[in-house]
Every structure is written in C-alpha cells, then in structure tokens.
Chain A
Amino acid sequence: MNILNLEGTEDTPKIIFDNQNKVYEISGRSLPEDSAEFFQPVLDWLDEYKNAPDAETAFQFKLEYFNTASSKLILDILSKLEEVDGAKVTWYFHEDDEDMEEAGEEFSELVDVPFEFKTY
C-alpha cells in the first residue's frame, strides 16, 4: 500500500496515511482553491485501503481551521471511513476552540464511525 504524504502549506493541510508506520493523520489548515481536487488522493487511498484494512485503524483529525468547501470533503472522507472495517476517528481541537469541537460533534452525528474527542 502506497504511503500518502502531503506536506502542509499555508492553505492546505498536512496529510500522512502510512500503513507501514500506522499513522493516519490530517492536520493544519485547509482552505484550498479547489477542495475536491485537493482531497481526491485521500479518497482514492481509502478506496484501496478499505479492501484490506487492519483490524483497527485510528484516523487523527487535528485541524486548526477549514473552510466550508473543505468541510464538504471532510464529510466525504468520514463517509468513506464507514466502509473501512475497524475505522475510528480521533477529533482534536484546541482547548479554547469551541467551534472546532462543535464541528467535530456535527460530523460525528452525520456518519456512522466511532468518534473520540481530545484537546491539544
């Protein structure tokens, strides 16, 4: 399974999906010009991974900020996780960032994937 590794920039998040080291993390800021194009490799990666996933896969979402176009794609990614057996999500938010906490709660209500919330 290929490693998906995108360096973060000022308007795109850092993404590492690495099955060898068991790291699955999206972090930073997300406000790309074209969110569908930017996140397509993540959806493609999950489409392949769901065919032979580990017994458990812990996906970490550690976002500082995302725009509304990204939120639509984040929901697409989370929906894709419903097809990955053993997937779970840890949603990180800064301890004083109620909006990010609420955003995570809303996503957790929209998809059927176990969510855990942590502050950083």
Chain B
Amino acid sequence: MINKNLILVYEGEFTQDITKSVLAMAERNLESMGEESGIKRKVFNVMVECLQNICKHSETFDEETYGKTTAIFMIGKHDSEYFITSGNPILSDSVAAISSKLENINSLDKDGLKQLYKDIIKNGRLSEKGGAGLGFVDMARKSGKKLTFDFEPINEHLSFFSLKTTIPRN
C-alpha cells in the first residue's frame, strides 16, 4: 500500500457533501504535487464519476435486510500513472448487467467509445437516481486504458463491486 503512494483513502458514508470534500482534498494534493493541468482534469473527471456512482448506487440498502454495507474510495499514484479505485456493495442481481456493460466498454477502441457515448446521450434518459448511464464510458474515455473490475459475493443478497481506472501521466 505504501509503496503505491496512496494520495487519499476514504471509507464510510458517501453523500454529495462528502464528494465535494473528497474532491477538494484530492485537488489540493494534486496541486501541491505540481501535476500538469490536463492530467489533473482527467483525474478530477474520473473521481467525480466514481464518487457520484457510489452516492447514487450504494445508499439504498436497508441495513436490517442486507447487513452493514460500506463503500471505499481511493486515489493513488505510481510513477507513470494515477489510479482511482472504488469499492461498494451492490445487489448481486445487478452483477451480470454491470459486468456486461463494462466488458462491452473494454472491447471498444477510442472511436467505438465516442460512438457509444453519443448513442447513449442522444437516446438514453436519466435514471430515477439521476444517472445518465454515461459514467463508465466517460471514465474509459478519460483513461484511455481498460477498466479493471471485480465482483466478490458478500452474502446471499450483496456483492462487493470494485473498479479501478488508471490515468497515464504521459
């Protein structure tokens, strides 16, 4: 963990206010490291989508039914790249849908992702939770790399969904 140079780790409740605080802290850190503005913007972009995904999709579980569920967010830096990782519980029923969405994204090149983005923004509708269905696509576009993801069963209802996005520094 230490030699991976973690910049920020947050575990606990995720709300819009916490999202704003985490973003402000991470921005200040990137600023103090003197990171180039283009890279900072991409990292910021991916952080927002990641944090807001957790806010929208991780808050609806009833503790009595599903057990305690906490989410985690971290950002770190290797020499040549930043990585933004999130982990949060989801209903196991949605694993297949999320997995196929991510696999599809990972199968596309730059132009394919651009086309997918345009198709969704043009024909899609905001979900009840206010998501545009564009978060993963946008993260993949800003990254330029494949998204890494995994699902671990937690109990009979829930699985732990982890997602890692890397932003190359050059």
Contacts and interface: CB of A to CB of B under 8 A. Distances in A.
Is A bound to B? yes
Interface of A: 10-11, 31, 33-36, 65, 67-69, 71-72, 75, 94, 96-99, 106, 109-110
Q: Chain A contact residues: over half helix, strand or loop, or mixed? A: helix
Contacts of B134: 68-69, 71-72
A49 to B, nearest CB: 23
Interface of B: 16, 20, 24, 37-38, 41-42, 44-45, 48-49, 52, 55, 114, 117-118, 121-122, 124, 126, 130-132, 134-135, 137-138, 142
Contacts of B131: 68-69
B138 A68 contact: yes
Given A36-B130, A68-B132, A97 B38 contact: yes
B48 A110 contact: no
A98 B39 CA distance: 11
Contact of A106 (B24, B55, B117, B124): B117
B20 to A, nearest CB: 6
Given A10-B20, A33-B55, A109-B118, A68 B135 contact: yes
A55 B161 CA distance: 53
